């Protein structure tokens, strides 16, 4: 039977990431928190030492179906979970969830899940960056058209282009990593956050439970963890998603038949159901499409910050979408980007061909700089060259010839000089050093993150 509705159930997201967000897995992580709190209670002397042991053993006996049954009856998901756990805990059952509030469980479990999820996200981002570093080096001298406004500007190298993505993605990696200290925290502080139910033992309960879960606690909280953390998460995911969008857009544009510089490698995939000749950049298009979903979800996360007093529940329903949908969508995009990069076709011949279609005018900035060096003013040189390049393009003659026909130019430059000025390989500036500088930054950032 195929009764799924949401594409996350069957279409988007890796198996490993999807697993983290199933109802079953979320339940397991919540039970893990219940157990940790039981240990906290024991440490604080509120319950005896055998109590958490018993509760821990019971965890494996809790069944989703029983929790569902109880929720249908009680109308409260965490109360149902605690009851189901208590039912299996024997004598210890009466201490399950003691003094805790639902969101001690929900929010702390989110931290456990998100910690695992971000580990995957970071690994995949590093994998993408590493592939881009490889390409930055490999293509550092592969000259191609640099484009601004979609128009030909001056030459760059393909390695330089990739290095810019290395930089941009590494910035996201750094940003996501720095966020973790604010987001991945325990929230174990009872009903309105003042730990009143544990009296003067609250900090011990929180401390021990957090120690077990390897989390640091929020300094303070209301009934729930502050929602700016989730907004930061959604923003950072949308930013990385939009950067992936940018690279996917690059591939889509450069794969146009008229340009033909890059292409998605294709297997047996059908391009069009009616046009047999078509090979479409569908993976890149999927990435661009999903980025729209990520951008929109930031609004949900931001609207969840201004809750009432010690909490209201309006974050709950929307976060059931927000957290799983943003992370799984990004996960799909990272995998897709890796697939695009690994199968990327680079057409160096077309890069060369395209460099020439503007008749050499792509080198006009170089001529401008030389004219200034020879004493002409920037403004005058700009004016003259604008005239000459227009002429070359309109009359479809080579820029070189147009330059040579112009007295104002020939007063200052020799023909050989002009020829040298028009070679793209002579006009790459600090390309190599910039690529190196960028790779250094990326590698240092990655190293900081992976060796922490």
In the region spanning residues 134 to 173, those forming contacts with its own copies, defined by CB under 8 A, are 146-156, 160-161, 163-164, 166-168, 171-172
Nearer to its own copies by Cβ, of 5 and 407: the residue is: 5
Restricting to residues 10-39, name those near its own copies by CB under 8 A.
10-13, 18, 21-24, 27
Check if 149 is active-site: yes
Strand (E) or helix (H) holding 294: helix 282-303
Nearer to its own copies, 76 or 448 (CB): 76
CB 111 within 8 A of CB 29: no
Torsion angle in degrees (nearest 10) through CA of 41, 42, 46, 48: 140
186 contacts its own copies (rule: CB under 8 A): no
Instruction: Find the binder of its own copies among 37, 112, 184, 195 (CB under 8 A).
Output: 195
Element (H, E) at 345: strand 344-346
- The whole-angstrom separation of Cα 373 and Cα 262 is 37
Q: What one-character-per-residue DSSP string does 59-85 give? A: GGG--HHHHHHHHHHHS-HHHHHHHHH
Cβ atoms within 10 Å of 148's Cβ, excluding its own: 8
d(CA 175, CA 166): 14
Contact pick of 33, 51, 62, 78 for its own copies (by CB under 8 A): 78
Quote the CA–CA distance of 184 and 395 in Å, as a whole number.
Answer: 64
Asked if 125 touches its own copies (CB under 8 A), the answer is no
In the complex, what is the shortest distance from the CB of residue 150 to its own copies, in angstroms, rounded to a whole number?
A: 5
Q: What single DSSP character describes residue 273?
A: S
Contact between 278 and its own copies by CB under 8 A: the answer reads yes
In this structure, the dihedral spanned by the alpha carbons of residues 438, 444, 449 and 452, taken in order and rounded to 10 degrees, is -170
Q: Is 310 in the site for its own copies (CB under 8 A)?
A: yes
**Chain residues 214-273 in contact with its own copies, contact rule CB under 8 A:** 218-223, 226, 228-229, 231-232, 235-236, 238-239, 242-243, 245-246, 249-250, 252-253, 255-259, 267-273
The single residue of 272, 296, 377, 447 carrying the catalytic annotation is: 272
Regarding 338 and contact with its own copies (CB under 8 A), the answer is no
The residue from 44, 102, 114, 143 that contacts its own copies (CB under 8 A) is 102
- Please list every residue from 382 through 441 that binds its own copies, using CB under 8 A: 382-386, 388-390, 392-393, 399, 427-431, 433-435, 437-438, 441
Closest approach of Cβ 212 to its own copies, in Å? 19
289-308 residues near its own copies, rule: CB under 8 A: 289-293, 295-300, 302-308
* Spatial distance between the Cα atoms of 44 and 42, rounded to a whole number of angstroms: 5
Stretch that binds its own copies, among 50-58, 113-121, 126-134, 355-363 (CB under 8 A): 355-363
Report if residue 450 touches its own copies, rule: CB under 8 A.
Answer: no
Please, are residues 186 and 218 in contact by the beta-carbon 8 Å criterion? Answer: yes
- Give the separation between CA 27 and CA 70, rounded to whole angstroms: 14
Q: Which is it for the CA torsion 393, 397, 398, 402, positive or negative? A: negative
CB of 52 to its own copies, least distance (A): 14
Q: Show which residues are catalytic.
A: 149, 272
């Amino acid at each position: 039977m195929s009764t799924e509705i949401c594409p996350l159930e069957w279409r988007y997201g890796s198996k490993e990431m999807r697993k983290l967000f199933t109802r079953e897995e979320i339940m397991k992580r919540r039970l893990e928190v219940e157990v940790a709190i039981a240990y906290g209670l024991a440490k604080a002397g509120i319950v005896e030492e055998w109590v958490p042991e018993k509760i821990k053993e019971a965890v494996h006996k809790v069944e989703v179906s029983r929790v569902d049954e109880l929720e249908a009856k009680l109308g409260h998901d965490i109360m149902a979970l605690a009851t189901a756990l208590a039912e299996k805990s024997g004598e210890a059952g009466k201490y399950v969830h003691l003094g805790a509030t639902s969101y001690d469980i929900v929010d702390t479990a989110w931290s456990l899940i998100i910690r695992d999820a971000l580990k995957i996200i970071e690994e995949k981002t590093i994998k993408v960056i590493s592939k881009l570093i490889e390409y930055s080096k490999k293509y550092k001298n592969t000259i191609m058209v640099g484009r601004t406004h979609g128009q030909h500007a001056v030459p760059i190298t393909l390695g330089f282009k990739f290095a810019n993505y290395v930089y941009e993605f590494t910035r996201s990696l750094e940003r996501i990593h720095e966020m973790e200290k604010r987001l991945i925290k325990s929230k174990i502080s009872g009903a309105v956050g003042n730990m009143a139910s544990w009296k003067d033992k609250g900090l011990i309960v929180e401390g021990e439970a957090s120690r077990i879960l390897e989390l640091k606690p929020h300094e303070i909280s209301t009934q729930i963890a502050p929602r700016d953390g989730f907004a930061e998460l959604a923003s950072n995911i949308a930013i990385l998603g939009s950067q992936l969008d940018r690279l996917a857009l690059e591939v889509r544009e450069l794969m146009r038949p008229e340009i033909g510089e890059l292409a998605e490698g294709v297997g047996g995939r059908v391009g069009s159901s009616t046009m047999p000749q078509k090979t479409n950049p569908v993976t890149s298009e999927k990435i661009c499409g999903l980025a729209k979903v990520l951008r929109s979800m930031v609004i949900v996360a931001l609207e969840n910050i201004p809750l009432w007093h010690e909490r209201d529940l309006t974050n709950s329903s929307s976060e059931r979408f927000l957290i799983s949908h943003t992370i799984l969508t990004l996960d799909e995009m990272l995998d897709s980007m890796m697939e695009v990069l690994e199968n990327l076709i680079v057409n160096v011949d077309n890069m060369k061909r395209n460099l020439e279609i503007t008749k050499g005018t792509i080198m006009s900035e170089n001529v401008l700089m030389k004219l200034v060096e020879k004493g002409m003013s920037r403004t005058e040189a700009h004016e003259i060259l604008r005239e000459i390049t227009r002429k070359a393009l309109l009359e479809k003659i080579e820029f070189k010839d147009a330059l040579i026909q112009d007295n104002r130019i020939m007063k200052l430059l020799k023909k050989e000089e002009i020829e040298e000025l028009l070679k793209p390989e002579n006009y790459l500036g600090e390309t190599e050093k910039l690529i190196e500088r960028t790779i250094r930054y990326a590698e240092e950032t990655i190293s900081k993150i992976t060796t922490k």
